[in-house]
Amino acid sequence: MSLFGRREHDALRSELAIAEARLRASEHDAARLRAVLDTVPVGLVLADAKGKPVMSTPAARRGGHADVLVDDALEHLLADAAAGQAAERRLDLFGPPPRTLLLRGIPLPDGGALGVIDDVTERVRLDSVRTDFVANISHELKTPIGALAVLAETVADHEDVDVMRALAERMVLEAHRASSTIDDLLELSRIELGGEAVYEVVDLGMVVAEAVHRNGLAAERRNIAIVMHDPHPPKAMGDSRQIVSALANLLDNAVKYSDDGSSVTVYVTRVGDWVDIAVADRGIGIPTRDLDRIFERFYRVDRARSRETGGTGLGLAIVRHVANNHGGEVRVESHEGEGSVFTLRIPACTDS
């Protein structure tokens, strides 16, 4: 082979090597792109210039029995987008489980269209919760604040000292009611926004003592004894501040709905990998029809009794969130006229 032919051959081999390297890089990039698209939670569908789907990601194919509804809506959106008209549509699927999808058709610059399937179920749920929360708290705060305004106006029109003293005492009660509602809201927000519990070894003896101390004055006023069944309870794993808050709310609930001179008992029991903290009272009990709703925010079994006791309807919602943050649960057993037992289950300390 001549020198010229050898150089030409070497140059060709070099160009082939470069082309192969570029091809491998291109294939690698394409594989990475496919892997990325496969993990994107939003469904993507690529359509040609006629609006016919030619490629889709796995998230776009997880419609289950609702595929027909999604495909029909997406077909129209892709056809419009391929014609240059962007559009979107919301689909409410009744399930089970119920879901809400937001579908979008987006025209592409070089022709064709991109379909986007976004599952917005959780966002819709949170928006609904926020809306209900704002409406409920507005109502709950409006009542004591309105009462304070009326009482203040009445005080201004009276000169009788005894009447003014009685009105002033009522104003103090309404102010405490508003303050208690705000405190519970702040506590609930802190626990909700705090996310999962910060796990540490928790001395449940100290937790019970602190929760009892928080309710000591209210129990003493009505001669209600709070008794701890086991003075040396097992240890737990979790967020001690959250657990104190949950137990304090369970005790507050038990004291409020117990008869004067009765007792409330706290049981702490190790059950396998869990610790059950039970609060038992001999109070008025809960009707069966209300048991499924008592952990909802602002729900009250007896609104008239709650007004007397100052309940905000947030205490059991706080308990439920603490249980969820610890991966546990809260249960209730109750019979009208006999009392109730609320049980908070949290992880046990493996070394106890």
pLDDT of residue 265: 93
Run of H or E residues at 141: helix 121-156
Could you give the CA distance from residue 103 to residue 117 in angstroms, rounded to a whole number?
Answer: 5
- Return d(Cα 183, Cα 207) in angstroms, integer: 20
More confident residue, 12 or 270: 270
Q: What pLDDT does 304 receive?
A: 43
Angle at 136 between CA 328 and CA 130, to 5 degrees: 65
pLDDT in tens, 329-342: 999 998 888 889 99
Q: Write down the pLDDT at residue 160.
A: 80
Helix (H) or strand (E) holding 73: helix 67-82
Sequence-distant (≥ 6) Cβ neighbours of residue 132 within 8 angstroms: 297
The answer for residues whose C-beta is within 8 angstroms of residue 74's C-beta and 6 or more apart is 45, 53, 103, 105, 115, 117
Residue 3 predicted with pLDDT over 50: no
Q: Cα–Cα distance between 60 and 38 in angstroms, integer? A: 10
User: What does pLDDT average to over the chain?
Assistant: 79
Taking CA atoms, 14 is separated from 4, 17, 18, in Å, by 15, 5, 6
Q: Distance between CA atoms of 121 and 90, rounded to whole angstroms?
A: 11
What DSSP assignment string belongs to 31-89?
HHHHHHHHH-SSEEEEE-TTS-EEEE-GGGG--GGGHHHHHHHHHHHHHHHHTT--EEE
Task: Let me know the angle formed at the C-alpha of 169 by 166 and 173, rounded to the nearest 5 degrees.
Answer: 140
Helix H or strand E encompassing 155: helix 121-156
CA distance linking residue 243 with residue 277, whole number of Å:
10
Q: pTM score > 0.75 for this model?
A: no
What are 192-213's pLDDT values in tens digits? 665 556 788 999 999 999 999 9
Phi, psi of 40 (to 5 degrees): -65, 125
Q: Give dist(CA 148, CA 143) in Å, integer.
A: 9
Architecture of the domain spanning 197-352: 2-Layer Sandwich (3.30)
User: What would the CATH number be for the domain defined by 43-119?
Assistant: 3.30.450.20
Q: Is 200 exposed, middle or buried (0-12, 13-18, 19+ CB in 10 A)?
A: exposed
Q: Could you state, in order of their start, the residue ranges of all structural domains in the chain?
A: 1-39, 43-119, 123-193, 197-352
The helices-and-strands tally (H runs, E runs) of the chain is 8, 12
Structural contact between residues 313 and 290, judged by C-beta atoms closer than 8 angstroms: no
**Distance from C-alpha of 113 to C-alpha of 53, rounded to nearest angstrom:** 9
Note the pLDDT tens digit of each residue in 106-139. 888 878 888 888 888 888 877 776 776 677 667 6
Architecture of domain 123-193: Orthogonal Bundle (1.10)
Q: Of 164 and 274, which is predicted with more confidence?
A: 274
For residue 234 the two structure tokens come to 């097992």
List the beta bridge partners of residue 279. Answer: 266, 342
Between the alpha carbon of residue 146 and those of residues 141, 172, 216, 305, the distances in Å are 8, 13, 30, 20
- The answer to whether the beta carbons of residues 101 and 118 sit under 8 Å apart is yes
For 10-32, what is the mean pLDDT? Answer: 57
Q: How confident is the model at residue 314 (pLDDT cuts 50, 70, 90)?
A: confident
Looking at residues 140-168, what average pLDDT do you find?
79
